[in-house]
Amino acid sequence: MSAAAEHTGSSLPVMEHFYTIQGEGYHQGRAAYFIRLGGCDVGCVWCDVKDSWEMDKHPRLSVAELVHLVKQTPANMVVITGGEPLMHNLDELTFELNEAGLQTNIETSGAHPLSGEWDWICLSPKKFKAPLPDILPLANELKVIIFHPSDLEWAEKYAAQVNPRCKLYLQPEWDKAAAMTPLIIEYIKANPQWELSLQIHKYINVP
């Protein structure tokens, strides 16, 4: 374990945790245990988990408790999300998850320094607080939420900065999906380096 992990508090504010399937992006359809951490300073106006923003309103669970909860299920993939999970040092959590033989995935805006050891980094940049340059070349997946047609051009700004192997996804913002999805489809047909991500968990009504 790194020195940073040794000096990190052994508990994290957890808004919710659950075993389900990944509903979007590259791992869509795979079973996954989600740990949603409290705290976010990015402030997306269309955020669907605004209850996660306040860090102190959520109970703190120890790293050992979190690993134990995951191990009560058949999960082999754990997704750390938020809120903005990188507001916390995640070295200890990912160390223990990896020690337990679990795959570690993170969903982040990239607005805070990267901590933790990750098998998969899903970077979802936001206009409200830009990602740090250091995380862009490390992303395995770039997932851009399309709220307005101008976001398609904005997405290309970040596609030009990730590594060539990074998977590129455009995802309609849920409340704008009826209007944005047809635009995204036509854009992908003209720019086939991109793929469509849909929040299938909302269509099939699972967490």
**What CA–CA distance (Å, rounded) separates 128 from 147?**
13
**Does the pLDDT value for residue 190 go beyond 80?**
yes
Helix 177-190 to helix 150-159 angle (10° resolution) is: 50
Pair 79, 34: CB distance under 8 Å: yes
How many structural domains does the chain have? Answer: 1
> Whose structure tokens read 């770039």?
142
| pLDDT higher than 80, residue 6 | no
Per-chain mean pLDDT for the chain: 93
Exposure pattern of 176-187 as b/e (b: 16+ CB <10 Å)?
Answer: bbeebbebbeeb
- Encoding tokens for residue 82? 């938020």
CATH number at residue 124: 3.20.20.70
On whether the CB atoms of residues 123 and 108 are closer than 8 A, the answer is: yes
Q: Which letter does DSSP use for residue 132 in this model?
A: P
| Mean pLDDT for the stretch of residues 180-199 | 97
What pLDDT is attached to residue 137?
98
Q: What is the pLDDT of residue 201?
A: 87
pLDDT, tens digit (0-9, with 9 covering 90-100), for 160-173: 999 999 999 999 99
In this predicted structure, what is the pLDDT of residue 206?
Answer: 81
pLDDT tens digits, 40-89 = 998 888 787 877 888 888 999 999 999 999 999 999 999 999 999 999 99
pLDDT at 35 over 50: yes
- pTM as predicted: 0.92
pLDDT of residue 8 exceeding 50: no
**Token pair listed for 28:** 């869509």
- The beta-carbon contacts of 200-205 under 8 Å, at least 24 apart in sequence, are 200/23, 200/24, 200/28, 200/29, 201/20, 201/21, 201/22, 201/23, 201/24, 202/23, 202/174
> In this structure, how many other beta carbons lie within 10 angstroms of the beta carbon of residue 198?
18
**Residue 88 structural domain:** 3-203
Cβ–Cβ under 8 Å, residues 74 and 106: no
